[in-house]
Chains A and B, each alone.
Chain A
């Protein structure tokens, strides 16, 4: 890649790469939210449709706050994101089992 001299000081690159990883993750999460909402919609379960879509909005807020914080440490963003993933898994399990 670059010369060592150049790769040793990358004031913004790491941060930018991390934000790109966050946005990829948000995209995948959007797919999961839509699939969950669709599963709930086939059961006419409007509450869970709203919950699935609101969950993605919350994830976006978490990711965006992480990006804006300008700190090396991610704060509570990581466990929150994992918690929401578990939440989608649990909601999906409930919806599948209650069909």
Chain B
């Protein structure tokens, strides 16, 4: 999988690349608008991580350029701006997702995973993990052909883990993923534990292997 990281902060792009590269993602960098244009003109990417505030131009123009060239690259906008207007403008310009800084790399990776799946498998978008099969379109999960019922949050968690295979994900990260903006306002993150416990139980009861491991007491890791 080829990923282009358009980001003027080298520390950020390095971290992103380091995190993603462990999972067969091949990352390339562009730190300016001009470099980014050159890259998209020459190559095809599965996903572009695009910071729209670049020193020499607005990242939104890259989206326009992609549209003009009829390219199908998936795009995640990464922005320090968290205004509804920017989000709407970004998504209307053809971006697939919008992530506000600061974000967890696991959050980014889960979204990159989803976008690539969506772009590559338009009609039958199913993830297979041995006995586990997830249909992303109908949001159904089957284990050894038998479907199991998950709540919206449990399904969300499962996709998040699958998108972050072999990564340690801390409780706070999960809390932020599940409750978005209010996670840090809640003094108690036990709800994460409750959801994960329920998910585990449903998977194991249906005969799924124990892929989801608890690490360091409160962290989790999907090993497969």
| B partners with A | no
Interface set of A (CB-CB < 8 Å, partner B): none
